[in-house]
Amino acid sequence: MRANAEGRITITPPIKPYLEEKMWFALFWMQPLREFWRRELGEKYFIKLQEVIPYSWLLDPTPLPQHAVIPRLEIHDWREAAKFSQKDRDLLLKVSGFSPLGWGSRGIVLGSDLPHAEWEKRIEHALATFESSPTILQRFHKGRLFEHRYWDPDSDELKTMKGRVRLCPYYFVEGDQVKLRGALATIAPADKKFLHGMSEAILVPSNTQ
């Protein structure tokens, strides 16, 4: 990245930092932006994205008016979320943007997996670092299980693994059009809650036809 910034190399396509922002998920669900998204995306795609994007919030420490609450959580202050029971903590904390923790699930924690004291500590840290490393809160969604075959070099045989799939689409700008030309499927083992390019995962190209 430094070489690219200094003009010693050229990266194609260029790096787009804004696409790294998980904050987009929270912005999509913000009520004041609802009509903006509906207008820009069109009604059909707006509704479809509502079906696939888990409800998300931005952990902004700005105080709310006394009569206001955070939507769907019905709390007045984020520190109230720190008091949630384990059952109510089926929520993910995700660091947004170009953070050293923003890749490989390093910046993601599931509230129901943490002791209460640690969950409270994570909430406080997210609020304290809002200006430098914004964090989102997101409903946890466990994906559907699939089976896929892979080659095991240790046993020298074809095996089948059950896992959950993460799809990474690849779009290309061709003239004045943007076209989907492929997707990478990352199949993580069934016992993994967070899906990323781990060494235990199967990585396969996908047909977009």
Q: Using one digit for the tens of pLDDT, what is the confidence trace for 36-64? A: 999 999 999 999 999 999 999 999 999 99
pLDDT tens profile 6-15: 889 888 767 7
Question: By mean pLDDT, which of 8-12, 88-92, 126-130, 135-139 is the weakest?
Answer: 8-12
Query: So what's the pLDDT on residue 103?
Result: 66
User: Is 131 strand, coil or helix?
Assistant: coil
Average model confidence (pLDDT) across the chain: 90
Write the secondary structure of the chain as one string of H (helix), E (strand) and C (coil).
CHHHHCCCCCCCCCCCHHHHCCHHHHHHHCHHHHHHHHHHHCHHHHHHHHHHCCCEEECCCCCCCCCCCECCCCECCHHHHCCCCCHHHCEEEEECCCCCCCCCCCCEEEHHHCCHHHHHHHHHHHHHCCCCCCEEEEECCCCCEEEEEEEECCCCEEEEEEEEEEEEEEEEEECCEEEEEEEEEEEEECCCCCCCCCCCCEEEEECCC
pLDDT tops 80 at residue 16: no
pLDDT of amino acid 78: 96
pLDDT at residue number 101: 72
Residue-level pLDDT at 4: 82
Provide the pLDDT for residue 58.
Answer: 97
Q: Is the model's pLDDT at 120 over the cut of 80?
A: yes
What predicted TM-score, i.e. pTM, was given to this entire model? 0.82
Which DSSP helix (H) or strand (E) runs through 79? Answer: helix 78-81
Query: Could you tell me the pLDDT band of residue 104, with boundaries at 50, 70 and 90?
Result: low
Q: Name the strands in the sheet holding 108-110, side by side, starting at the edge strand that comes first in the sequence.
A: 56-58, 135-139, 91-95, 108-110
CA dist 18 and 126 (Å) reads 20
Tell me what pLDDT residue 13 has: 67
Of 2-6, 77-81, 162-166, which range is least confident? 2-6
In the chain, % of residues over pLDDT 70: 97
Residue-wise pLDDT for 154-198, tens only, equals 899 999 999 999 998 988 888 899 899 899 999 999 999 888 878
Min mean pLDDT across 12-16, 73-77, 131-135, 199-203 is at 12-16
